[in-house]
Chains A and B, each alone.
Chain A
């Protein structure tokens, strides 16, 4: 009963990737780390579903 989407789901993956790297520009390692943490929390809230989040935690290991 996998709910986590693992097949390609973005209209333009290259755009997202470029935006992600650009968002880190000029940040120290510590700032980048803090930014990543905030990003994960923002995205996790958007997903909301605990079962999907658990699958995401496993998928990212």
Chain B
């Protein structure tokens, strides 16, 4: 039997019989990705663009319907730009910068996320997750047309897995019966309830927050609510202990009510009961249509390790956070960004297998940071003791009048890229007076360059960025290609570049990894040092 567990927003890859199902001997692929949510699709795209053959198995035939992620961060858009699908997301998405926090009927304060000029992408866009996934899928199709070896198999459900030293065996169910497949590497992107994790007997520890959230996506045309993030603590309209209102494309609004732990789900999800909450909030005479509703509870947890021999976990299967801060899909995309080039180098025999252990080092560090932030936000939004509630409200009251209390208000610390400060791949930070924001381990900051922007010119290979100093036009470190980008900042229009990459230094040389994180920096080009740092960043020292 093969039944869908959820309905589809977009049917993208209908089941088709693959030659592997009729093969006499079991076929082995270099990489199999399990799960075609945003993280699995992105993994297939990243690997395929490198020319690494990849087969993606998903138990449905497209993108699931429903209200999940809506907030996508700048870093995600920068990564999507590298893949070629950032523009489609930005064009469809709603750009927002302003957030307002209310308590009861008073505004506590407002914030503006747009910190500085000179970036190709905004701090955040709102976009329904199904569109986000569809744009990644469309880019996969585009790459396939250009010859990228990506294959997506719909209604292919992984039911059993056995992991060996040098390969993995997968039993796959299809509407036409099961077949067996082998992979040198498996990337598990099968979501928070990851069957793969279960099949390998791996744990997923953390904590459950005892509160439920009723999510309603509504379609309304209203000028009363601007394109801003509005968050109420203990709202006067009493539709929830907290309430979030946020705009999506197509006149759709996300409304999120905190409704308590012991709720009768079926009762709460009745349209009349959802409308009662919405009417109280919007005022009785606003017309709207409920597009989607569901009730969620939240957890913060992660696997102890993300690499298990030949199986690597990414996205929600590896770590789960509460949505305050939009750190779910956004951090999953950073997983892919981190794992993609490493797995690519390993499959092509350029880097040793141990490079993949640094995926664990770097992304577990990131997951802990995300879990910490979203746990703290959840604590603040849903205080679990009387005294914590008292302090929370004290902060809100003070924040109305006193600037000092505003940074303590926590309605979600929005996703920012992780800085791999302690990564074993980091090379020297030999740029005295170099800016903190581009220190070794951090992701490159964007800046205007020529007619475009810096990040677009760094590409997907290793790169050397030289400012006000000579570098060779191309560098080859053994079999690792390194591109060079040289700029002179004498031109005034490079103010942002100087500020972000030179600071007080006169010249600088940055070694940048394929995921556009800084691997080392110096004041001038030293071939030996750059070679050594490149090898180190590939786990080859």
| Bound CA span A34–B408, Å | 16
| A34-B393 CB under 8 A given contacts A41-B408, A45-B404 | yes
- Chain B, residues 112-127, CB within 8 Å of chain A (1/0): the string is 0000000000000000
A45 touches B391 (CB 8 A): no
A51 at the interface (CB under 8 A from B): no
Q: Which residues of B contact A45 (CB under 8 A)?
A: 404-405
A20 at the interface (CB under 8 A from B): no
B391 touches A37 (CB 8 A): yes
| Bound CA span A41–B391, Å | 8
Q: Which residues of B contact A41 (CB under 8 A)?
A: 391, 394-395, 398, 405, 408
Please give the distance in Å from A35's CB to the nearest CB on chain B.
8
A37 touches B390 (CB 8 A): yes
A4 at the interface (CB under 8 A from B): no
B397 at the interface (CB under 8 A from A): yes
Residues of B within 8 A of A (CB): 387, 390-391, 393-395, 397-398, 402, 404-405, 408
Please give the distance in Å from B233's CB to the nearest CB on chain A.
14
Interface Cβ pair total, 8 Å cutoff: 26
Please give the distance in Å from B163's CB to the nearest CB on chain A.
45
Residue of A33, A38, A40, A42 with most chain B CB atoms under a 10 A cut-off: A38
Q: Which residues of B contact A38 (CB under 8 A)?
A: 394, 397-398
Q: Which residues of A contact B391 (CB under 8 A)?
A: 37, 40-41
Q: Which residues of A contact B387 (CB under 8 A)?
A: 37
Top 5 A-B residue pairs of the complex, sorted by shortest distance between their CB atoms: A37-B394, A45-B404, A38-B394, A37-B391, A37-B390
Which bucket holds chain A's interface residue count?
A: under 10
| Bound CA span A41–B390, Å | 12
Known contacts A37-B387, A40-B391; 15 additional CB pairs below 8 A are A34-B390, A34-B394, A34-B397, A37-B394, A38-B394, A38-B398, A41-B391, A41-B394, A41-B395, A41-B398, A41-B405, A41-B408, A42-B402, A45-B404, A45-B405
Q: Which residues of B contact A37 (CB under 8 A)?
A: 387, 390-391, 393-394
Q: In the complex, what residue of chain B is closest to A37 when comparing beta carbons? A: B394
Q: Which residues of A contact B408 (CB under 8 A)?
A: 41
Q: In the complex, what residue of chain B is closest to A39 when comparing beta carbons? A: B394
Please give the distance in Å from A28's CB to the nearest CB on chain B.
13
Q: Which residues of A contact B402 (CB under 8 A)?
A: 42
Q: Which residues of A contact B390 (CB under 8 A)?
A: 33-34, 37
Q: Which residues of A contact B395 (CB under 8 A)?
A: 41
Those of A23-61 within 8 Å (CB) of chain B: 33-34, 37-38, 40-42, 45
Q: In the complex, what residue of chain A is closest to B403 when comparing beta carbons? A: A45
| Bound CA span A45–B394, Å | 13
Q: In the complex, what residue of chain A is closest to B407 when comparing beta carbons? A: A45
Please give the distance in Å from B362's CB to the nearest CB on chain A.
27
| Bound CA span A38–B402, Å | 11
Please give the distance in Å from A23's CB to the nearest CB on chain B.
14
Q: Which residues of A contact B393 (CB under 8 A)?
A: 34, 37
Residue of A33, A37, A40 with most chain B CB atoms under a 10 A cut-off: A37
Residue of B391, B394, B395 with most chain A CB atoms under a 10 A cut-off: B394
| Bound CA span A53–B329, Å | 36
Please give the distance in Å from B376's CB to the nearest CB on chain A.
15
Q: Which residues of A contact B398 (CB under 8 A)?
A: 38, 41-42
Q: Which residues of B contact A40 (CB under 8 A)?
A: 391, 394
Q: Which residues of A contact B405 (CB under 8 A)?
A: 41, 45
Please give the distance in Å from B535's CB to the nearest CB on chain A.
40
| Bound CA span A40–B390, Å | 12
Q: In the complex, what residue of chain A is closest to B404 when comparing beta carbons? A: A45
| Bound CA span A38–B390, Å | 9
| Bound CA span A40–B392, Å | 12
Q: Which residues of B contact A34 (CB under 8 A)?
A: 390, 393-394, 397
| Bound CA span A25–B508, Å | 63
Chosen A-B contacts, 24 in total, with CB atoms closer than 8 Å, are A33-B390, A34-B390, A34-B393, A34-B394, A34-B397, A37-B387, A37-B390, A37-B391, A37-B393, A37-B394, A38-B394, A38-B397, A40-B391, A40-B394, A41-B391, A41-B394, A41-B398, A41-B405, A41-B408, A42-B398, A42-B402, A42-B404, A45-B404, A45-B405
Please give the distance in Å from A40's CB to the nearest CB on chain B.
8
| Bound CA span A42–B397, Å | 12
Please give the distance in Å from A34's CB to the nearest CB on chain B.
6
| Bound CA span A42–B402, Å | 9
Please give the distance in Å from B166's CB to the nearest CB on chain A.
49
Q: In the complex, what residue of chain B is closest to A38 when comparing beta carbons? A: B394
